[in-house]
Structure 1
Amino acid sequence: MKYHVLGRTGQSVSALGFGTMNLPHQDLDISKRALNYALDRGINYIDTAPNYKNSEEIIGESISQRRQEFFLATKLRQRDYQAGKAEIEQSLRRLKTDYIDLLQIHYVNHDHEYDQIIGKDGALKAALEAQRAGYVRFLGISGHRPELLAKWIGSDIYDTVLFHMSLVQPFALQDLIPTCQQLNVGMIGMKPLSGAFVKPASMALRFSHSTPIDVLLSGMKTVDEVKENIAALETRIEPKEKEQLWSLAAELGEHGCRRCNYCSCPIGIRIPDIMISHLAREKMGLLGRGAQFYEEQAAKIQQCHEYEPCRKKPLCEPACPYDLPMQQTIQRQSKVGAK
């Protein structure tokens, strides 16, 4: 296993981290085996969040007795002080630990939201209070707007930042990573398969691994998935392969969608999922989950052609901060065959 220093935290962390969002969807014994196997193989970065159902409790039940063997990251989803303080205390109980290595202010995508968090009675107050008391070692922030994250980490509050890094969302390479490197902020990349959409999985993992991030989070569930992820990253990425992967990422990222979720669809189309995946779908096809998604959305995609209120001007597009042609992209998908 390869290790990196996580920015100015000075902590040595495995290049592959264990994302636990999907653990609650299966038998506890399967999760226990996967987590313990990962630790046995040298994965020492474990990521969770209070809103990942009972993920924190699974970690507490499965590996709290091995607490000194891993760097534990969870998140703070609340926005005000009192709720934030209660959530931190709840996480400590669920995780069966006396301290959290990294507490990340989670899923911040709006300036007004950030202003609330850092305000007089915002959630950051609770995080800093927990840090001073020794319950939290380091603070981080996460979100889906790399250009905003680049601005916020300049405050010198945050030791790390968590962001999308995949073949179909490589934007942090330009918008955020240079700032992190300048400030020595630890870089954690998430969703290398863009939510289990992008194939082949090994190529997607290797692209994310080839970037300057310190930790790549992969949402593993079983021992076999841990083995597959480790195997995908075992061999060195040579310059020629890196050049090919980065070229492909530039092509597949031309859609421009950061998944900020500002947009909404009156007929229930999941706009960001389509915007982010459509070029990969057209060029390479998708993993099973992605193909199933398009099957489930097919009727709504067809309805997009006929929905009267959007005929003259799409209702979704004015909300997009990147002025993306969402209606045109969505309607085109009704003509794309499965691969």
Structure 2
Amino acid sequence: MRYTMFGQTGSRVSSLGFGAMNLPGVPFEQAKAALNYALDEGINYIDTAAGYRNSEEIIGDSISHRRSEYFLATKTNKRDYKSAMEEMERSLTRMKTDVIDLLQVHYVNTVQEFKAAMEEDGAYQAALEMKRKGHVRFIGITGHRPELLAKWISKGQFDQVLFHLNLAQPFALQELIPEATRQNMGKTAMKPLSGGFIQPVSKAIRYPYSQDVHTIISGMVSIDEVKENIAAMREEVGDEERHELEQLALELGSHNCRRCNYCSCPIGVTIPDIMISSQVRQTFGLLPKGDGFYERQKDKILSCADYEPCREKPLCEEKCPYHLPMQQVVQQAAGYFNAG
């Protein structure tokens, strides 16, 4: 396991972090075993959020007795002081700890949300207050708009930033990672499999592993998944492999969707998932989780071409800050079912 100094925090973190978002979806004993096995194998970065159902409670009940062994990161998606303070206090109780190593202002995707969080009565001030009280050590920010995150971190108010980085979403490399490096911030990459779409797992993990980040959080739910992720990182990435991965990322990232979720579909198509998986689906096919997503979305995808209000001007495309051809990609996805 590779360990690096996490920005200016003074903490050394493992290159693989444990993303606990999906733990509420499996039996408690399985989740507990996965967390403890991860710690046994040297993973020392645990990531969760107050909004991940009972993920924080699972962490508290499973590994709080080993609190000195891991760097604990959680999140609040509240924007005002009062709600954020209440949520952080609940997080401490749920995770059975007195200190959160990293509190992240979570899922900030618009200028309005950022301004609200940074106001005098905003969530950032609540995090600073918890830091003054000794209950939070460092403050970070997360979001899906890398170019906006690059601007927001430039003022030196945050210790860490969390962002997408995978073969189908390489966009953080352009502005965000260089700015975080200049600020000497902790750099945490998330969704190496892009929510279960990218395969093979080994290749997917090795792409962010080859880039300038400190830790990659993978949403693991079993001992076998922990083993699979660790195995992908056993060897360092050489120059030739890095070049091949970067070329592949250029191809798979050509959809240009950042998953900012500005778009919305009146018939319920989950547009970002279809955009991001479009090139992966054509190049590698999908993991079982990806196949399951397409089956659940089948009726909505097939209905896109017949939805009358979008015939002349797609409603989703009006909201996209990147002006992407979303209707075209969704309708092309209908061919996935014909091929099957």
Conservation of the 8 A alpha-carbon contact between 1:285 and 1:338: no
One-letter identity of the residue aligned with 2:64: S
Find the aligned partners of 1:296 and 1:50 in 2 and give their Cα distance: 27
Classify the secondary structure of the residue corresponding to 1:327: helix
Aligned to 2:52: 52
Q: Is 2:165 the counterpart of 1:165?
A: yes
Find the aligned partners of 2:292 and 2:41 in 1 and give their Cα distance: 33
Aligned to 2:93: 93
Following superposition, the deviation at residue 10 of structure 1 comes to 2.2
One-letter identity of the residue aligned with 1:317: E
Conservation of the 8 A alpha-carbon contact between 2:51 and 2:76: no
One-letter identity of the residue aligned with 2:159: D
Find the aligned partners of 1:47 and 1:236 in 2 and give their Cα distance: 24
Classify the secondary structure of the residue corresponding to 1:8: coil
Aligned to 1:320: 320
Deviations 1:99-128 (A, max 9, x none): 000000000000001101111211111100
Aligned to 2:72: 72
Aligned to 1:260: 260
Deviates more, 1:229-238 or 1:97-106: 229-238
Conservation of the 8 A alpha-carbon contact between 2:210 and 2:237: yes
Find the aligned partners of 1:27 and 1:306 in 2 and give their Cα distance: 41
One-letter identity of the residue aligned with 1:231: A
Find the aligned partners of 1:236 and 1:41 in 2 and give their Cα distance: 18
Following superposition, the deviation at residue 65 of structure 1 comes to 0.7
Find the aligned partners of 1:338 and 1:121 in 2 and give their Cα distance: 54
Deviates more, 1:46-55 or 1:291-300: 291-300
Aligned to 2:145: 145
Aligned to 1:310: 310
Matches of residues 1-339 of structure 1 in structure 2 within 5 Å?
1-336=1-336
Find the aligned partners of 1:286 and 1:29 in 2 and give their Cα distance: 29
Report the TM-score when normalising by structure 1.
0.98
Find the aligned partners of 1:301 and 1:100 in 2 and give their Cα distance: 42
Conservation of the 8 A alpha-carbon contact between 1:5 and 1:11: yes
CA RMSD of aligned residues (A): 1.0
One-letter identity of the residue aligned with 1:311: R
Classify the secondary structure of the residue corresponding to 2:134: coil
One-letter identity of the residue aligned with 1:282: Q
Report the TM-score when normalising by structure 2.
0.98
One-letter identity of the residue aligned with 2:111: D
Following superposition, the deviation at residue 236 of structure 1 comes to 2.0
Deviations 1:225-270 (A, max 9, x none): 1111101110121111111111000110010100000000011100
Distance 1:296 1:338, change over 3 A: farther
Classify the secondary structure of the residue corresponding to 2:8: helix
Following superposition, the deviation at residue 197 of structure 1 comes to 1.1
Find the aligned partners of 1:39 and 1:31 in 2 and give their Cα distance: 13
One-letter identity of the residue aligned with 1:267: I
Runs of 5+ in structure 1 lacking a partner? none
Find the aligned partners of 1:137 and 1:153 in 2 and give their Cα distance: 18
Find the aligned partners of 1:252 and 1:236 in 2 and give their Cα distance: 23
Following superposition, the deviation at residue 296 of structure 1 comes to 1.9
One-letter identity of the residue aligned with 2:211: T
Find the aligned partners of 2:309 and 2:5 in 1 and give their Cα distance: 52
Find the aligned partners of 1:196 and 1:291 in 2 and give their Cα distance: 9
One-letter identity of the residue aligned with 1:313: K
Runs of 5+ in structure 2 lacking a partner? none
Q: Which runs of 4+ in 1 moved over 3 A?
A: 336-339
Conservation of the 8 A alpha-carbon contact between 1:291 and 1:338: no
Following superposition, the deviation at residue 175 of structure 1 comes to 2.6
Paired positions, count:
339
Following superposition, the deviation at residue 143 of structure 1 comes to 0.3
Find the aligned partners of 1:93 and 1:155 in 2 and give their Cα distance: 32
Deviations 1:22-57 (A, max 9, x none): 111111111111111111111000001011111100
Distance 1:338 1:219, change over 3 A: farther
Classify the secondary structure of the residue corresponding to 1:114: helix
One-letter identity of the residue aligned with 1:4: T
One-letter identity of the residue aligned with 1:112: Q
Find the aligned partners of 1:334 and 1:28 in 2 and give their Cα distance: 38
Classify the secondary structure of the residue corresponding to 2:13: strand
Following superposition, the deviation at residue 338 of structure 1 comes to 5.3
One-letter identity of the residue aligned with 1:223: I
Following superposition, the deviation at residue 316 of structure 1 comes to 0.6
Find the aligned partners of 1:311 and 1:113 in 2 and give their Cα distance: 32
